[in-house]
Chains A and B, each alone.
Chain A
Amino acid sequence: MRNRSRPPLSPEAAALLSLSRRTLMRGALATGALAVSGGALAACGTKGAQQTESSCVSEDSSGSEKTLTVSNWPQYIDVDDKDESKRPTLVAFEQKTGINVSYTEDINDNNEFFGKVQNQLTECQPTDRDVIVLTDWMTARMIRLGWLQKLDAAKMPNFQKNLLPSLKGRPFDKNNEYAVPWQSGLAGLAYNGNVTKEIKTVDELLTRPDLKGKVTALTEMRDTMGLILQSNGHNPSDFTKAQFDDAINKLQKAVDAGQIRRFTGNDYAPDLAKGDIAACIGWSGDIIQLGLEDPKVKFVAPESGAMLYSDNSSVPNKAAHKGNAEAFLDYYYDPAVAAELAAYVNYICPVVGAKEEMAKTEPELAANPLIFPDDALLAKTKVFKALTEAEEREYESAFQRVIGA
């Protein structure tokens, strides 16, 4: 082989490929040296991220600075029909209080955002944000890490009075001190009436033969497992390891039987609309949107109970405008303001009294049980238990095994 002459290499290919034995050796040596020195640098590992109220004290300069920086998810606030850059409820707040709000839509993913602020909050440094909005489990993790400031209930009378009772004393925030629900939603079942008949229970979803291979569940462990726990008659807010294992086995059986086609994030919605999947575990907000286009796509809160999740506003450590943040959050618990917001975003409104306010302007939306669920539905919903870090890893690992990663 080696004696035969070779076609000349193109310059690009030569550049890509022409590592001689010597440069390779040199490269290996250099890499080795770097790795050793780098290893020495990294040998100390990482610092613990835990903070406490005394280890990280924040100061509030709301008195002198009338500003507030809010980070939220995209399309999570009302905008003017004519001018999308105007946010009517926000403008009204600024006029009312004189607080200048810088509102950015820079949260797209809980984990991603966690990565963004992790270093600052670990070191007890400011994130330059006064209000951040994160989903229950991530808010719970931040509370656990001691990364959030305690809010002053006395400064938030609307919140005290109008928070939806089902959201009071949630497992990760027993005294409602850290997390103020921005919007809520349900995780439950959904089906496409064009391809299958109605589905009422989680067991049907996991075993009904005509649905085989046409079912998806969520990669969000708490939502999928919460529903299965309830279908077993167990309480997702308070369950044992053995009960969790029962639920995992039930899910594993459905996966092994080929009943469940896939585990998904938001991407189940187009599949459900097309009828590629007949039924699934999904979120109420998505299904409302699909239902507007095709009324045969329906959301079902299973008889055994649905999961109630929220995206929560919190004030991170070292945020310098806690007072302004409290004023801001309380303002959105004014029923009239909440109704205006809910009319735009179509999630479950966590504010009591907003329904009556909305009935005045948009009675059709006010009657929608997926925006204003009735008491019977709310009584069946549960919030997932607050997990310790060790539990979270244990349960996630078991769940990830089942979903194949």
Chain B
Amino acid sequence: MTLLTGVGPRPVDAKGGGAERRDRRRALPYLLLLPGAAWLFLFFVVPTIQLGATSLYDPSGSVTAGYAMTWEFSNYPDAIEYAWPQIVRSFGYAAIATVIGIVIGYPLAYAIAQKAGRWKNVLLVCVVAPMFTSFLVRTLAWKTILSDNGWLVGFLRDIGLLGDDGRLLATPAAVILGLTYNFLPFLVLPLYASLERLDYRLLEAAGDLYASPTRTFVKVTLPLSMPGLVAGTLLFFIPAVGDYINAALLGNTNTNMVGNVVNSAFLSRQEPPQGAALSFLLMAIILVIVFTYVRRSGTDEVV
């Protein structure tokens, strides 16, 4: 509001119509909000309600006969019973991928933000450019790299890390690798944004005060980059948990994630209540994890 009064046209006529003008001006922010609010309502609130309702339908219904709303809360325990291995796996894989993502992404973001000099923009483009091609194509490309007859597997066999008939494709490792690769930019970009603002003089000051480089990192760099790290890990972890493409293309029957079960519930097994219940469960678990995580990682303005 203050911003708007600041930049808005000054009232020309101070005597008459001032109140009316003020009213209009007061309405303006709400008018500007309207498209966004309508968008959220149509594409978030309505589908969420629809999905929530579907998760409580009588599971004995069918497309042909229709579904009756019976407030079937037992759909939730049933869904957990059906899909708990995949649920646990989803969070496990996403957590491992996030840790690997931080190990790769933090130094990368730091280097781009602080050390890249005139290469900064080029390197940023390198991080973002892969996203210009489709997610599906990028995932399929990994099949070539990880191929049983490819150089990578050959090399790993030669140095004895993989058995003679060992493979990477259709293993948990391939799925986790796919997750890490596909979501890494979402981790790097927010991290970069906060590391870029890091004032190098603070690091020099830490050095002047006899802090070792490790100590400087732990006491200065890391806390200052925390907002970026928190945002980045969330943007990485949340879609990774719900992903099903990587498991479908790079995994085997024992690497399916909860997304694959939701897909199968809606499309193959025709059990939409179960699929909806699983989607809601996933959302709930993620919310709990996010709030716990954010609280623990120090940004205690939350909750």
Contacts and interface: CB of A to CB of B under 8 A. Distances in A.
Interface in B249-272: 249, 251-256, 260-261, 263-264, 267-271
Interface in B270-303: 270-271, 294, 298-303
A276 B63 contact: no
Contacts of A403: 253
Given A276-B169, A400-B264, A389 B249 contact: no
Contact of A9 (B56, B57, B227): B227
Contacts of B170: 213, 261-262
B254 A396 contact: no
Nearest to B298: A6
B239 to A, nearest CB: 15
A165 interface: no
6 contacts: A14-B301, A39-B49, A45-B61, A213-B167, A214-B148, A399-B268
Contact of A400 (B64, B268, B299, B300): B268
B49 A389 contact: no
B253 A262 contact: yes
B49 A13 contact: no
Contacts of B54: 42
Interface size class on chain A is 35 or more
A213 B168 CA distance: 12
Contacts of A20: 301
Contacts of A48: 64-66
A38 B268 CA distance: 28
B87 interface: no
Nearest to B139: A267
Contacts of B302: 17-19
Given A38-B49, A270-B143, A274-B147, A389 B63 contact: yes
Contacts of A376: none
Nearest to B254: A404
A57 interface: no
Given A47-B66, A276-B149, 6 more contacts: A17-B227, A45-B69, A262-B252, A270-B140, A390-B62, A404-B252
Given A2-B300, A404-B260, A111 B267 contact: yes
Contact of B256 (A9, A10, A24, A404): A404
A271 B61 CA distance: 40
Interface size class on chain B is 35 or more
Nearest to A118: B63
A403 B261 CA distance: 10
Contact of A50 (B50, B64, B149, B264): B64
Most chain B CB inside 10 Å of its own CB: which residue of A21, A214, A404: A404
A271 B169 CA distance: 10
B261 A276 contact: no
Interface in A268-323: 270-271, 274-276
B213 interface: no
A145 B62 CA distance: 11
Given A19-B302, A35-B52, A405 B263 contact: yes
Contacts of A17: 227, 230-231, 294, 299, 301-302
Interface string B168-206: 011000000000000000000010011001000000000
B92 interface: no
Given A17-B294, A404-B260, A49 B224 contact: no
B162 interface: no
Given A12-B190, A13-B231, A48-B66, A19 B143 contact: no
A301 to B, nearest CB: 26
A6 B223 CA distance: 8
A34 interface: yes
Given A12-B231, A43-B53, A49-B64, A6 B300 contact: yes
A393 B251 CA distance: 25
A402 B253 contact: yes
Contact of A405 (B65, B194, B231, B264): B264
Contacts of B270: 389, 392-393, 396
Nearest to B266: A111
B68 interface: yes
B230 A38 contact: no
Given A45-B69, A274-B149, A393-B270, A10 B197 contact: yes
Contacts of A399: 268
